[in-house]
Chain A
């Protein structure tokens, strides 16, 4: 490897340090450094590396809409494209996260996303719910308990 010019090395080190302050767990980063890093990174260098971290969610989840015929439909199994599946899953995870955080109902932007997803996958839906399957003992991850949370239809 060729030697890196010192000013370049300095820039790379400062950039990496700011990104580390932005992406590392908030508990380990002093608040002023976090604020500076957020101001620096959010616009151009936003990233997060928390997939299945610090722990994978103990409850799997998906959304179900009630069709006009009255039966509950999970659009995920019939969705063949990986990015379309990702949107459904992302909406379900966000609902799960907000409810776990103490919210009574999904936030307004999430309601908007749920409305669009519902209209696309289950037109004229009459109901919406979050279906979870929760691990009760991480040593036996195959054993899961179902949990159903009714949601307001956006």
Chain B
């Protein structure tokens, strides 16, 4: 696995680990005795994706949470087999669907990325023959998923009236649930930021293909998502997008990052011990 793929694997699994750990204080009301009533859409896959709360008893939520935590740790460590990645996806989507009232686009984004991570890992672990098409299949499905999220939300917003006129952020921050409310004191700044967000979402899927634009795009995107995490009360959504940026990291950036991290992660051999031949 190359350095960029490895970085993406760490980011995705670290997100799952962080999200499920962050949800533990309210795990009972999310998954065990949920406040959300059961919601099961029609379809052939629902016995798999909505098992929890239908044919799996509610008490199974705890083992599922334990499995998801354990597998995401293995994913961060780079030791996840493809079939374990499939189990991780099944466990994660079951938790997500059971707590649908606490859902977000970030959780949905991650469900899609975890699904395509299965063929990607299968390809990496299968070697050259099957890997020649499974790895690009998984990787490009994941990359395109991120671009689609930006492109689609941009189209929806361009069809409204408040985003194109620059008034949307003023209305959002004036809502008692969000912020920063101080932005209402600077209407021109609010207008500029509205257009900035819209421009980012329109341009991201277009400019990401130019290497020189990528650092600026990823940097602006990270700032935007940190802002939404902080003020829009959707922390896991902002961080899910930032984690997905790992999929678009150029290989040499990832190699440089790993080279900087290596002294922290692999300790120097102790003195008096014979180095391996």
Interface of A toward B, CB cutoff 8 Å: 2, 4-5, 7-9, 11-12, 15-16, 19-20, 23-25, 28, 42-58, 60, 62, 76, 81-87, 89-91, 109, 112-113, 116-117, 120, 133, 135, 138-139, 141-142, 144
Contact of A120 among B35, B144, B156 (CB under 8 A): B35
Whether the pair A112, B37 counts as a contact (CB closer than 8 A) is: yes
Contact among B145, B151, B163, B184 with A54 in the assembled complex (CB-CB below 8 Å) = B163
Pull 25 A–B residue pairs with CB atoms less than 8 Å apart, ordered by A.
A2-B136, A5-B133, A12-B141, A12-B144, A20-B148, A20-B151, A24-B155, A25-B156, A42-B43, A43-B41, A45-B112, A46-B108, A55-B162, A55-B168, A82-B233, A84-B29, A84-B102, A86-B101, A86-B233, A90-B101, A90-B102, A120-B29, A135-B174, A141-B184, A144-B174
Task: Check B105 against A48 for contact (C-beta < 8 Å).
Answer: yes
Chain B residues whose C-beta falls within 8 Å of the C-beta of A5 in the assembled complex: 132-133, 136
Q: Could you say which of B8-16, B44-52, B67-75, B268-276 contacts chain A?
A: B44-52
CB < 8 Å: which of A12, A44, A45, A86 contacts B102?
Answer: A86
Q: List A contacts of B167 (CB < 8 A).
A: 138-139, 141
Q: Which residue in chain B gives the minimum CB-CB distance to A115?
A: B37
Q: How many angstroms between the C-alpha atoms of A10 and B26 in the bound complex?
A: 43
Answer whether residue B177 sits at the interface, using C-beta atoms and an 8 A cutoff: yes
**Given the complex, which residues of A lie within 8 Å of B43, measured CB to CB?**
42-43
Given contacts A55-B160, A56-B162, A113-B36, contact A87 B102 (CB under 8 A): yes
Asked if B149 is at the interface (CB within 8 A of a chain A CB), the reply is yes
Q: Tell me whether B115 and A44 are in contact (CB under 8 A).
A: yes
Smallest CB separation, B183 vs chain A (Å):
10
In whole angstroms, how far apart are the Cα atoms of A9 and B133 in the complex? 10
Partner of B171, one of A2, A62, A135: A135
Could you tell me which B residues sit within 8 Å of A by CB distance? 22-23, 25-26, 29-30, 34-37, 39, 41, 43-46, 49, 99, 101-105, 108-109, 112, 115, 132-133, 136-137, 140-141, 144-145, 148-149, 151-153, 155-163, 165, 167-168, 170-177, 184, 233-236
B-side interface mostly: helix
State whether A43 and B155 are in contact (beta carbons under 8 Å apart), knowing that A12-B141, A83-B102 are contacts in the complex.
Answer: no
Which residues of chain B are within 8 angstroms of A62 by Cβ–Cβ distance?
Answer: 176-177
The 4 closest A-B pairs by CB, nearest first: A54-B160, A53-B156, A43-B43, A141-B174
Bound form: Cα–Cα A138–B102 in Å: 29
Partner of B170, one of A48, A83, A138: A138
Q: List, in ascending order, chain B residues with CB within 8 A of A47's CB.
A: 105, 108-109, 112, 149
CB of B149 within 8 A of CB of A49, answer yes
B39 near A24 with CB under 8 A, answer no
Q: A50-B153, A90-B103 are in contact. List 18 more A-B contacts (CB 8 A).
A: A4-B136, A8-B140, A16-B144, A20-B151, A24-B152, A43-B46, A56-B162, A56-B168, A57-B171, A58-B171, A81-B26, A83-B102, A87-B29, A109-B39, A113-B36, A116-B36, A135-B171, A138-B162
B45/A43 in contact, CB under 8 A: yes
- A4–B203 Cα distance when bound, in Å, is 23
A28 vs B184: C-alpha distance when bound (angstroms): 34
Q: State in angstroms the CA–CA spacing of A91 and B234 once bound together.
A: 16
Whether the pair A44, B45 counts as a contact (CB closer than 8 A) is: yes
Decide if A15 touches B25 in the complex (CB within 8 Å): no
Bound Cα distance from A85 to B99, whole angstroms: 13
From residue A152, how far is it (CB to closest CB) to chain B in Å?
17
Given contacts A60-B176, A83-B30, A138-B171, contact A113 B101 (CB under 8 A): yes
Q: Which residue of A lies closest to B36 (CB)?
A: A113
> When chains A and B are docked, how far (Å) is the Cα of A83 from the Cα of B153?
23
